[in-house]
Copies of this chain bind each other. A is one copy, B any other.
Amino acid sequence: MPDPPDFSKSTCPLPLRDYPSIVMGHGGGGRLSAELVEHLFLPAFRNDALANLGDASIVASGGERLAISTDSFVVRPLIFPGGSIGELSVYGTVNDLAVSGAVPVYLSVGMILEEGLPMAILAQIVDDMAKAARVAGVQIVAGDTKVVEKGHGDGCYVNTTGIGFVPAGVNVGPGLARAGDIILINGTVGDHGMAIMSVREGLEFDTTIHSDTAALNALIADVLRAGGPSVHSMRDPTRGGVAASLNEIASSSQVGMVVDEASLPVRSEVRSACELLGMDPIHVANEGKVLIFVAPDRAEQVLEAMRRHPLGADSTMIGNAVAQHAGMVVARTTIGATRIITPQIGEQLPRIC
């Protein structure tokens, strides 16, 4: 009997009913993930806050706007160059709140541990979480631990759920980018994905590739101070990389985008690793990067503010939003041609976060 088809590597966008069971791609943050959300979760849970599909949901609470974001982390290996699942799980949720315009304040932590996980590894992960929470200025106020039998987990899965408050006057969202907006990024792309991949594949380069995992809330506060209401949209390009994030904003905001491929900062060792593995850095995950959509009137001030921040020294403009080809992202290649940047259907790298 032939093997069943491997849908996770398929490039054909099949509707949900053609998947009798879950495939890896359903967790990849690409088109399969989106189909699960669109055809299963949204119809079941339908409400306005969820339908917005931002990195965090914004809900009213008395006179305030509360931002809520949840993320489960299943990264493999648990500890990697530049970080661990501990930092990643704190920074990931902090960043999802921050790009929604919220000031992150509280985190909950839910851990699913596998029987046999060495206590020393758990202790390091917990220590990394505590340090990361201090760096990001958030409090871990609720926790839960469950244990599953050996062979029913993978050491440690972490869920973090974050709560923040959106200051008065801040209005950013995936649907608020406008034609004419300048697209900025705070540094090199692909570092996190290639750090994980290098470890898994046993690749060796002259320089070890380190994950860029970092808390972006302080940098984003600077961006909002410098840009005010001219900052329209922000997104941290994690799963699916810059390509996925740009496509999501292009689709939600119904604008086109033109990206200058040569302007996308990529470390030479990341570029080498990508070439070796046949990957494109624009599709590779980041954990300390943010895309900013800002009107031209404040783009210069925002870029300067970003460059003054330690996490934004390499900040640069990578393109702009346009009125043409709404919902579509186009790259100008180094030789002057153009190509369409589509999101991945599944994921090129499972369990990146």
A-side residues, CB < 8 A to B, are 16, 19-28, 33, 36-37, 40-41, 44-45, 47, 49-50, 56-57, 59, 61-64, 66, 68-74, 106, 108-120, 122-123, 126-127, 129-130, 133, 139-149, 151-154, 157, 159, 161, 163, 165, 350-351
Contact residues in B for A41 (Cβ distance below 8 Å): 126, 143, 145
Contacting pair B147 A22 (CB below 8 A): yes
Q: A-B pairs with the 5 shortest C-beta distances?
A: A27-B147, A161-B161, A70-B108, A159-B159, A44-B130
Copies of this protein chain in the complex: 2
Smallest distance from the beta carbon of A88 to chain B beta carbons, Å?
12
Smallest distance from the beta carbon of A197 to chain B beta carbons, Å?
16
Contacting pair B45 A147 (CB below 8 A): no
Given A21-B118, A119-B22, A151-B151, A68 and B130 touching (CB < 8 A)? no
A33 to B27, CA, bound (A): 30
Contacting pair A27 B145 (CB below 8 A): yes
Smallest distance from the beta carbon of A127 to chain B beta carbons, Å?
6
Contact residues in B for A118 (Cβ distance below 8 Å): 20-22
Contact residues in B for A23 (Cβ distance below 8 Å): 115, 147
Contacting pair B27 A140 (CB below 8 A): no
Smallest distance from the beta carbon of A145 to chain B beta carbons, Å?
6
Cross-chain contact of A27 among B113, B133, B351 (Cβ < 8 A): B113
